[in-house]
Amino acid sequence: QVQLAESGGGLVQPGGSLRLSCAASLSYFSIYVMGWYRQIPGKQRELVASITPGGSANYADSVQGRFTISRDNAKNTVSLQMNSLKPEDTALYFCNGVPIFNYWGQGTQVTVSS
């Protein structure tokens, strides 16, 4: 059974940084592509970054150059370093597989506001 626990969100001013972490209780974590998703109320959940088992990353255009995804296969964790945050990055952030597992964690709220 998959369990995903996101943490690290908070309130930050525009231009600030946050680092999100996800602990995955998942067998064979290292074989899965993992991703960070975000959801803004009233909008569909979107994939903002993904990382392959080998560490190759892809990013949505909206976060390219500002966000960095990483993983530690030994610890079953995936992280998202978010720099130069903008108000439009305000959302509930989740980690999950790509494609998604049949489970979502609680997410972690990121609010970018002055």
* Distance in angstroms (rounded) separating the CA atoms of residues 69 and 83: 12
Q: Helix, strand or coil for residue 83? A: coil
Residue 26, pLDDT score:
86
Check if the beta carbon of residue 26 is closer than 8 Å to that of residue 10.
no
pLDDT tens for the 114 residues of the chain, in order? 889 999 999 999 999 999 999 999 988 999 999 999 999 989 999 999 999 999 999 999 999 999 999 999 999 999 999 999 999 999 999 999 999 998 999 999 999 999
> What is the C-alpha separation between 43 and 113, in angstroms, rounded?
19
What span, in angstroms and rounded, lies between the C-alpha atoms of 24 and 5? 7
Residue of 22, 21, 25 lying closest to 3 (CA atoms): 25
